[in-house]
Amino acid sequence: TILFTHRPCKVLVLCLGLLPPLSIKIFSVLIRLVSPLQLELSNTAVLHQMRRDQVTDTCRANSATSRKRRVLTPNDLKHLVVDEDHELIYCYVPKVACTNWKRLMMVLTGRGKYSDPMEIPANEAHVSANLKTLNQYSIPEINHRLKSYMKFLFVREPFERLVSAYRNKFTQKYNISFHKRYGTKIIKRQRKNATQEALRKGDDVKFEEFVAYLIDPHTQREEPFNEHWQTVYSLCHPCHIHYDLVGKYETLEEDSNYVLQLAGVGSYLKFPTYAKSTRTTDEMTTEFFQNISSEHQTQLYEVYKLDFLMFNYSVPSYLKLE
Ligand SMILES: *[C@@H]1O[C@H](CO)[C@@H](O)[C@H](O)[C@H]1NC(C)=O
Ligand SMILES: *[C@@H]1O[C@H](CO)[C@@H](O)[C@H](O)[C@H]1NC(C)=O
Ligand SMILES: *[C@@H]1O[C@H](CO)[C@@H](O)[C@H](O)[C@H]1NC(C)=O
Ligand SMILES: *[C@@H]1O[C@H](CO)[C@@H](O)[C@H](O)[C@H]1NC(C)=O
């Protein structure tokens, strides 16, 4: 199995072979829970076991065909937010409620500084100094935390997440930095006869152009995808790190509150409920994909395929694959 490395431990390389296939901690937490909830919780526990198995099976099925590394370096752990007080590790995935989960992590690690997650402004939740990530620890400290902490992440239907990223970064006028950094590059490469203004501002990227940029082999050869459209697979390394819990955007509140309950803070901390009016939906995603050729749809599906398989999302019915 790719989950184990048989090489001896080297400095600056994590020895993933040391990690147990399943966290023991989650079960000890479950045992402590009171009986009236037991039945319901065991159904939930079964569901989460199935999700974990799906990840493991997908990793196994794809290990032979891919040339993936067997070890991680601290640099791969920049998305893993650590809460030492409650022994939690959260891998954040942009466009999957990560602002609210970062707020919760700030409450959890704040030692009383905050009580209500929503009192923390969104921009403050994204200041990297406000949360500690796993890459900031020494190798033994990293291995210890990976072994004993409860690790979780939240995932979302890959194309819905992609449309959400596109809408947020390219259809809103306020974020000039994204237009300059990525928009200008996308237009230069993907638009024939682009005007000087479009090339300079990069603020009117079409979804078709964004897709063409994502499937262009040059793009990932040049630099990794931006985190807003990078695959969950590449951000969180689920084939190397055994997540105890895979939460889903589709059942966000339920899964989030389950994590909080397992962490022992469910009695006083709940996932914030918020208006989802501007949320990217399946219907919206269908609309956006209507303009994409079946050739490009097929290539895009290949880019995100592991995320689809690993997190059990079926091939969207609106796709016309070749
Ligand atoms: C995958 O999804 C299907 C339907 O969408 C569901 O019936 C099945 O139980 C899921 N499997 C896992 C492992 O979550
Ligand atoms: C704007 O884009 C930058 C990256 O270029 C990002 O760090 C920042 O969070 C974005 N701001 C908003 C409001 O989305
Ligand atoms: C680009 O401009 C040239 C010359 O004006 C024109 O012949 C051509 O059709 C244009 N191409 C596109 C894709 O608009
Ligand atoms: C699809 O293309 C048409 C024609 O170019 C355009 O008017 C429409 O806005 C596009 N739809 C989306 C969702 O991009």
Give per-residue pLDDT as tens, 107-124.
999 888 888 889 988 888
- pLDDT for position 130: 87
Q: Give the number of the atom of ligand 3 that is nearest the alpha carbon of residue 193.
A: 1
Of 101-110, 120-129, 141-150, 208-217, the range with the lowest mean pLDDT is 120-129
pLDDT in tens, 126-140: 888 889 999 999 999
- pLDDT for position 111: 86
**pLDDT band per the 50, 70, 90 thresholds, residue 315:** very high
3-state secondary structure of 151: strand
- pLDDT for position 123: 87
Residue 191 CB–ligand 3 contact under 6 Å: no
Residue 52 CB–ligand 1 contact under 6 Å: no
Tell me which residue has its CA closest to atom 14 in ligand 4. Answer: 288
CA of 187 to the centre of ligand 3 (A): 15
Average pLDDT value for residue range 268-275:
84
CA of 296 to the centre of ligand 3 (A): 22
Which has the closest alpha carbon to 82: 102, 53, 65?
102
Tell me which residue has its CA closest to atom 6 in ligand 1. Answer: 312
- pLDDT for position 278: 67
Name the percent of the chain in helix, strand, coil, to the closest 5: 55, 5, 40
Q: Is the pLDDT of residue 8 over 50?
A: no
The phi, psi pair for 151, rounded to 5°, reads -110, 135
Q: Mutate which of 210, 289, 291, 293 to test ligand 4's pocket (most atoms within 8 Å of Cβ)? A: 291
**pLDDT band per the 50, 70, 90 thresholds, residue 167:** very high
**pLDDT band per the 50, 70, 90 thresholds, residue 2:** very low
Contact status, residue 243 vs residue 90, Cβ threshold 8 Å:
no
Look-up of token digits 């589709």:
250
**pLDDT band per the 50, 70, 90 thresholds, residue 147:** very high
Question: Three-state SS across 215-279?
Answer: HCHHHHHHCCCCCCCCCHHHHHCCCCCCCCEEEEHHHHHHHHHHHHHHCCCCCCCCCCCCCCCCC
Burial of 36 (0-12, 13-18, 19+ CB in 10 A): exposed
Let me know how many helices (H) and strands (E) the chain has, helices first.
15, 5
Mean predicted lDDT score pLDDT of the chain = 85
**pLDDT band per the 50, 70, 90 thresholds, residue 63:** confident
Q: Residue 67 and residue 64: Cα distance in Å, rounded?
A: 8
Average pLDDT value for residue range 177-189:
93
Contact status, residue 127 vs residue 105, Cβ threshold 8 Å:
no
The amino acid at residue 73 is: T
Enter the pTM of the model: 0.84
Q: Give the number of the atom of ligand 3 that is nearest the alpha carbon of residue 192.
A: 13
Q: Residue 298 and residue 301: Cα distance in Å, rounded?
A: 5
CA of 214 to the centre of ligand 3 (A): 24
Q: Give the number of the atom of ligand 1 that is nearest the alpha carbon of residue 54.
A: 13
Ligand lying closest to the C-alpha of residue 122? 2
Ligand 4 contacts (CB < 6 A) are 207, 287-288, 291
Contacts of 303 (CB under 8 A, 6+ apart): 214, 215, 231
pLDDT in tens, 11-38: 333 444 344 444 444 444 544 444 445 5
CA of 291 to the centre of ligand 4 (A): 6
Ligand 2 contacts (CB < 6 A) are 126, 175, 177-178, 181
Angle of helix 207-215 versus helix 158-170 axis, rounded to 10: 120
pLDDT in tens, 237-268: 999 999 999 999 999 999 999 999 999 999 99
CA of 54 to the centre of ligand 1 (A): 9
Contact status, residue 106 vs residue 114, Cβ threshold 8 Å:
yes
**pLDDT band per the 50, 70, 90 thresholds, residue 280:** confident
- pLDDT for position 275: 63
Residue 195 CB–ligand 3 contact under 6 Å: no
Q: Is the pLDDT of residue 233 over 50?
A: yes
- pLDDT for position 241: 94
More confident residue, 211 or 116: 211
- pLDDT for position 15: 43
